Amino acid sequence: DAKTTQPPSMDCAEGRAANLPCNHSTISGNEYVYWYRQIHSQGPQYIIHGLKNNETNEMASLIITEDRKSSTLILPHATLRDTAVYYCIVRVAEGGTGGFKTIFGAGTRLFVKA
């Protein structure tokens, strides 16, 4: 799976949009971009994933550049409860019998401040 690069930490004011960047310059054509977050003392939580089109769900939006070498996770109105470590992961999304695991990096520690 391709390697990702994320800033180690970011701050965001409560109520403002949090924009978390991720570089994945070696991403392959069949690799998806996944985002998870981990709130302190809890297991990671799936947020969103995409291939090349922008995606939005009730938690966040995912913007993937046209060349797919980077992406941004957007939390439109950050709250204090969004303080967490955010992980950007690229991996294939196979439907066959291949054995592909999800590999986590160090992530970005987002601090949402009042």
Residue whose structure tokens are 């994320």: 6
- Site membership for other proteins, residue 107 (CB under 8 A): yes
**Size of the residue set binding other proteins (CB under 8 A):** 26
**CB-CB contact of 63 with 52 (8 Å):** no
- Site membership for other proteins, residue 100 (CB under 8 A): yes
d(CA 73, CA 88): 9
Contacting range for other proteins; rule: CB under 8 A; set: 12-20, 57-65, 68-76, 88-96: 88-96
Q: Of residues 60, 68, 78, 91, which one binds other proteins by CB under 8 A?
A: 91
- Site membership for other proteins, residue 81 (CB under 8 A): no
- Site membership for other proteins, residue 45 (CB under 8 A): yes
**CB-CB contact of 38 with 44 (8 Å):** yes
| Residue 107 phi, psi (nearest 5) | 75, 180
Pairing between β-strand 9-13 and β-strand 108-113 as defined by DSSP bridges: parallel
Binding region for other proteins (CB under 8 A): 32, 34, 36, 42-46, 49, 85, 87, 89, 91, 93-95, 97, 99-107
